[in-house]
Amino acid sequence: MPQTLLQKVWNHHAVRRLPNGQTQLFVGLHLIHEVTSPQAFDMLHARGWRVRYPERTVATVDHIVPTRDQRRPFLDVMAEDMLSALERNAHAAGIELLDLTSGAQGIVHVIGPELGLTQPGMTIACGDSHTSTHGAFGAIAFGIGTSQVRDVLASQCLAMDPLKVRRLEVHGRLAPGVYAKDVILEIIRRLGVNGGVGYAYEYAGDVVERMSMDERMTICNMSIEGGARVGYVNPDDTTFDYLRGRRRAPQGDAFDRAVEWWRSMGSDADAVYDDRVTVDAGSIRPTVTWGINPGQSVYVDERLPKPADVAPGERAALDEALGFMGWTAGAPIKGTRIDVAFLGSCTNGRLSDLREAARVVRGRHVAAHVRALVVPGSQGVRLAAEREGLDRVFSEAGFEWRGAGCSMCLAMNQDRLEGREVCASSSNRNFKGRQGSPSGRTLLMSPAMVAAAAVAGEVIDVREFSDGR
Ligand code: SF4
């Protein structure tokens, strides 16, 4: 029987079918961090249980770490407590901790791939919604809640509902100034933030096949924002080339053997899908969210929707979003004044993202009224960027160059919006209060668009701005 990658990976990891119809799945790699793990460890200890497979568990610190001054103890007592708890728990259980002194610390979804921990055909779980990122490698990667983190620590297994598979084929050519971020925002806009509920998204088509691993990670990262439980790309030579030589990937002959197996895990050519959607890449333009979920977006040269533009059932959501953001229906998004520019996150905090943003700001300066920061996704990204001189490009342009972490993606540290500030952000969520201020406003866009907005002081079309650079 021809199978999709999801079915193959699922069947390889199925321990048993549970009476309620769920599958008990073995988890190949469990990634943990300082925010969702302390409570899970407490629950584990309360029952007298131990970590079942510490060697399949890797910890890092990302969500609460300060990005300006990372000296210990942190000034933020709660952050210091959380990090100390992770250190104690990891040490006691014999779990590898990639902390601030390791040289390998960073956002959990950046370091997994970077170190070669993330590999095709795996099941991966992590207590963060954007674990779907790892699907870029042909892994099936689940974001899980705190009680599931406990379950995986205790048993290395998860009870999962079956999933349907939707194949999303992106064909054609992306125009200059249009990036992977625009592709996934387009998909979410078209199918809706709940369009993927009950599905795994399989991204394919010649555009995805030509994408780098960084670009594939951006797309898979936001699968969850479209409602999908997981997102993945079938592994290919781009995947294997990325993994070759990475610290934690198989080495030598073992790597060649692994490639053979990884290749066999891809969806069969005649696999049957529950749904298929085709996207014309050539029609996508630089995209900006205007509302309070990632599906509320327009092309930068479009206007905000008016009540007449949306279905009757969507008018209340439109009113709520326009009311919260303080925008007028039908107004252009271009020219919207911004206060903050944030470059970073597990969606767009990788080296290629910083390169693209640096290309836009080189020789220019951030607008006088804009606070701009660059937060590399990992210590590895930061170091590689510094080797290329990108830190100087950003600093000379007026950006703050920070240490690695989640930072303003969810503002659990000091990096936050104040009051009604508007932020041009390369992150993944524009929910109310997401960036630290209950009334703060987030506009999601590609890193190049964030860079252009930082310089212009307002939302601007990077295609006009970068004068062909
Ligand atoms: S960058 Fe944002 S989405 Fe990604 S792991 Fe951190 S908090 Fe979660």
Alpha helices in 288-418 (DSSP H): 315-325, 345-348, 351-361, 379-387, 390-397
Nearest alpha carbon, ligand 1 atom 2: 409
Cα dihedral value 274, 294, 123, 264, nearest 10 = 50
Average pLDDT score over the chain: 97
* Residue 467, pLDDT above cutoff 80: no
Q: What is the pLDDT of residue 37?
A: 94
For tokens 């107004």, the residue is 331
pLDDT digits (tens, 9 = 90+) for 274-311: 999 999 999 999 999 999 999 999 999 999 999 999 99
Extract the tokens encoding 156: 């290395």
- Distance, in Å, from the CA atom of 181 to the CA atom of 444, rounded to the nearest integer, reads 9
Nearest of 228, 285, 226 to residue 429 by alpha carbon = 226
Q: Does ligand 1 come within 6 angstroms of the Cβ of 62?
A: yes
Extract the tokens encoding 172: 């054609």
Q: Does ligand 1 come within 6 angstroms of the Cβ of 446?
A: no
pLDDT digits (tens, 9 = 90+) for 397-412: 999 999 999 999 999 9
- pTM metric for this prediction: 0.97
Q: Does ligand 1 come within 6 angstroms of the Cβ of 130?
A: yes
To test the ligand 1 pocket, which listed residue (428, 430, 435, 444) has its Cβ within 8 A of the most ligand atoms?
Answer: 428
Give the confidence band of 469 by pLDDT, cuts at 50, 70, 90.
very low
Give me the residues paired with residue 336 across strands: none
Could you give the percent of the chain with pLDDT greater than 90?
A: 99
Q: Does ligand 1 come within 6 angstroms of the Cβ of 5?
A: no
Q: How far is CA 377 from the centre of its chain?
A: 10
* Residue 59, pLDDT above cutoff 80: yes
The DSSP 8-state label assigned to residue 268 in this structure reads P
Q: What is the pLDDT of residue 466?
A: 58
Q: How would you classify the pairing of strands 140-143 and 57-60?
A: unpaired
Tell which atom from ligand 1 comes closest to the C-alpha of 412. 7
Cα 2 to ligand 1 centroid, rounded to whole Å:
35
Q: What is the mean pLDDT of residues 147-156?
A: 97
- Distance, in Å, from the CA atom of 26 to the CA atom of 155, rounded to the nearest integer, reads 9
CB-based contact 288:301 (threshold 8 Å): no
Cα 346 to ligand 1 centroid, rounded to whole Å:
6
Tell which atom from ligand 1 comes closest to the C-alpha of 62. 6
